[in-house]
Amino acid sequence: MFTGAMVALVTPFQDGEIDFQTLDELIDFQLENSIDAIVPVGTTGECPTLSHDEHKKVVERVVKAVGGEVPVIAGAGSNSTAEAIELTAFAKKVGADATLQVGPYYNKPTQEGFYQHFKAIAEEVDLPVVLYNIPGRCGAGLTADTVVRLAEVENIVAIKEATGKLDMASEIATRCDLTIVSGDDSLTLPIASVGGKGVISVVANIAPGDVKAMTDLILEGDFVSARKWHNKLFALSRNLLSMATNPIPIKAAMSMMNLASEELRLPMTIMDESKKAALKQILKDYGLV
């Protein structure tokens, strides 16, 4: 359930509302390209600007549209433990297979606070938990020691590693048996080299087949062939994560590919016109437009 190519799905909007028809179409596109799992309402899914009701509706719609073909790992994190438990319980109720739990943001808990937060969620709701360690977004992050402690908690089964530090992934891999997946597309292969088993991918929104081809080879242990896909995907991955804050570039790219509107919700704004020409050239060079 927690290996291979897993897409961090965007939440499409139209005129300020969630575009559920396009959401269904995006899920069909992913399934047609043999994606291994779908991860809605994470960072890429703009969870911070969805109401609780909208958040729940997206999770329920994705579970229904996927129809059990692949696992659904629903974003259910919060900087409020009680809120995270509520969202996790709802995800279980509607049939999600697991939840993605981001580190509490803004309030910057201590490591003991992180531990107690994730432990409480895992113990309260009987659903597998994928930890999401992204200190650049949260203002604070998990240390390897805390990850190792959490690995002993039943239901905590994997970690999305988005610190950008190979040493962190290496230390987790050598000290516990959590499944490690990359949280940065450009680092999927490097993290795999020290024990990673796949990626929760932004780029898979537009190139799911290629991300899947690379992770299949990684899981087969063919790193030489996987490196060819890494080299092909690298510029696309790097630029989609560096041209502007995610998910601004991926939504701009999806608009250029007629997959979804580029619309976001404030405080996120669409990509500057001055950068769009460069993005379109990147997509052309890759063969996506």
How is the chain classified by DSSP, letter by letter?
A: --SEEEEE----EETTEE-HHHHHHHHHHHHHTT-SEEE-SSTTTTGGGS-HHHHHHHHHHHHHHHTTSS-BEEE---SSHHHHHHHHHHHHHTT-SEEEEEPP-SS---HHHHHHHHHHHHHHS-S-EEEEE-HHHHS----HHHHHHHTTSTTEEEEEE-S--HHHHHHHHHH---EEEESSGGGHHHHHTTT--EEEESGGGT-HHHHHHHHHHHHHT-HHHHHHHHHHHHHHHHHHHHSSSTTHHHHHHHHHTTSS-----TT--PPPHHHHHHHHHHHHHHT--
The domain 4-220 is placed in CATH, from the list 3.20.20.70, 3.90.1170.50, 3.40.50.300, 1.20.58.220, at 3.20.20.70
pLDDT at 139: 86
pLDDT at 22: 98
Question: Of these residues, 56, 119, 160, 197, which one is catalytic?
Answer: 160
What are the sequence ranges of the domains in the chain?
4-220
- Per residue of the chain (289 residues), what is the pLDDT tens digit? 799 999 999 999 999 999 999 999 999 999 999 999 999 999 999 999 999 999 999 999 999 999 999 999 999 999 999 999 999 999 999 999 999 999 999 999 999 999 999 999 999 999 999 999 998 888 889 999 999 999 999 999 999 999 999 999 999 999 999 999 999 999 999 999 999 999 999 999 999 999 999 999 999 999 999 999 999 999 999 988 899 999 999 999 999 999 999 999 999 999 999 999 999 999 999 999 9
132 a catalytic residue: yes
106 a catalytic residue: no
Question: Of these residues, 115, 119, 132, 197, which one is catalytic?
Answer: 132
